[in-house]
Structure 1
Amino acid sequence: MSGLVWLNGGLQAAASAGIAVSDRGFLLGDGVFETLRWRGGAVVRLEAHLARLARGAAVLGLPLPPPTTLAAALADTATANGLVDGALRLTVSAGPGVRGLPRPATPTPTVLVTAAPSGPALAPARVLIATVTRRNEHSPLSGIKSLAYLDQILARNEAAARDADDALLLNTVGHVACATAATLFAVLDGALVTPPLASGALPGTRRAALLAALGGEERILAPSDLRRATELFLTSSLMVRPVVAVDGQTVGEGRPGPVTAAALSQA
């Protein structure tokens, strides 16, 4: 993590910054977050990220600081840490509360920004279809980046235990929804496709950009579709990662294809 963080109005040393022990984000996962790419002195797709944060906060009934305040906090954190190319995380929790589920009548959100440099490029992924949990496409939480990530953690733990790099989550009717922290794209019959939001996919910022740039489409995907795909890749705000195997079966020719290369060129 960065040496300096932005917490509740200003920069502080990460080593001494503190969040209340009664914070509902820590105790209950009551909050939302965004992971953003910092590159060339600016946040990539800033407006899209802040709009998604606002939608998520509205679902949870959380007040947010003005977008200008959040944008300045992100820039200040990146600059203070000398970030050139890396990741920013903006977290907003419901703040301190009393014991139990009900929030204070007027919550005082905790707002935190952290920074980290980019890591090395990820190798092509071998993924599996998670069996320990499923994505609930009926829940409003499937469409927002809430702090509650336990289903994804369970699925990622299953992947690690079975010597895979990531897991794909099916929804309650058995359709493909997403990876643990990424959108899934597939090339089927020459077309670029991705699961629709109604399947439980998160409305990713890079997802929307790639659909517009490459002419992709939303389509319900069954696990059998993955076995006949000629290309698969994962996307998030920080990366485009080719997928070369699903449940031990090679995808296409077992290496990144031309559509994946085109997606990487949009990064």
Structure 2
Amino acid sequence: MGIEYEVISDRLTSEAADLYRDLVAVHLEAGTGDRRFMLMKYLGGNMLRFLGQGHRRVWRDVDPGALDDLAGYGLLSTEYSPKGSPNYRITGESLAFYRWWMRELGAAIDQAHQEVWRAVAGESFAEAHPGASHHLNEAFDLLWKDRLDDQTVSELGDHLRKALMDVVNDVVSGEGGKVEQPVKSLKAWLDTRQIGEREREVVNAVIELARATLRLDHRLNHVRDELELGEPEASMVELRRAAFATAMACEQIGSL
């Protein structure tokens, strides 16, 4: 590779780092065979397509500068098709860097992870919201597998959606019945509470976070249908965002 791992880690832009994680995840998921990524340019944009076996993935309007950085640092090897389209592959040295990088990032990731999970993974949350606690644990177990196949993404989205639904049901209805419209029910419940206006504004923002997060979780749960409708495939960045946003919404709603 020729460049020290620490230097590469410091120099990677957020765009290049996010793309690199996605590429490695797809490479590992495919398992065997010729695992290459082809950059195809068209009028007004470009598209990076994975051409390996057993996995379909497309990145639309990928940042060429991020690809250049990854190739320049030796994280991607580059060759060209007869038509001049660049092909990229994850190298063995790249995987060695990736394993080192994940170990180095572990401390910082764990700190953020622990902050999000400090309440929702504790015994008190599990006792108050056993259904939500179960679904969050199942979702994060799937997240840490770094897999992007449709089944894993769908199951993760389903667990996240159910976690939010369960915690809202616990707060609004207790043990009496199921909440069909969680956001509407939360707003109606909030109207009955005696709290200050500034706190009410924050709680309303948490409810809006729950609304947006439920939509994202629903998208992941139905990722196959989304693909058929022309929506983009899920990425590891999107999965992480959904998981942590759902966990935070669950913790804040549970505290109500």
TM-score bin, normalised by smaller chain: under 0.3
TM-score by length of 2: 0.25
TM-score calculated relative to the size of structure 1 = 0.24
- Relative to its length, the structure with more helix (as a share) is 2
- Which has more radius of gyration? 2
Q: Which has the higher strand share?
A: 1
